[in-house]
Amino acid sequence: MSKYKVNKPEEEWKSLLSPEEYRILREAGTEYPFTGKYNNHKIKGTYSCKGCGSDLYESSAKFDSGCGWPSYDRSIEGAIEYRKDTSLGMHRVEILCSNCGGHQGHIFEDGPTETGQRYCVNSASIDFRSDEDESH
């Protein structure tokens, strides 16, 4: 039994997500740097999990890190789960949606803002909702 509120069989995830989204969200894959649609995205709004729709990051937390992936200096409180990741011979901290367990990317302690954090996120693992969309 999964500890996540949103728990689907893998076949259902495969039917709901594109092959690239599935590879990233469900298999902890990574998109190529500078290829994601949200890397240079600068519109005000909220970024949510592509898998379950839970809000994860506010646009006010986004910054241009130059690393090739969307970067945030904080997440929405309680939205992210942190897991030790020693894959690829490195010591990193994986970030996952706390609602469905979808892989978002990794967090690093090299951010330029007062938090010192850089949430390095795959564009394929998130959706975006503009603040303007909510005013209509």
The Cα–Cα gap between 47 and 44 comes to 10
- Which pLDDT tens digit goes with each residue over 70-104? 999 999 999 999 999 988 788 999 999 999 999 99
Q: Would you state the pLDDT for residue 136? A: 45
pTM for the full model?
0.91
List the beta bridge partners of residue 96. 81, 103
The Cα–Cα gap between 127 and 136 comes to 19
Q: What letters, b where the CB count within 10 A reaches 16 and e where it falls short, cover 41-72?
A: eeeebbbbbbbbebbbbbbebbeebeeebbbb
Q: Would you state the pLDDT for residue 98? A: 97
**Whole-angstrom Cα Rg for the chain:** 14
Residue 67 falls in the annotated catalytic set: no
Q: Would you state the pLDDT for residue 132? A: 82
pLDDT band of 135, cuts 50, 70, 90:
low
Catalytic residue, chosen from 49, 97, 100, 120, is: 120
Kindly tell me if the per-residue pLDDT of 2 is higher than 80. Answer: no
Sorted by where each starts, the structural domains of the chain and their CATH numbers stand as 10-134 (2.170.150.20)
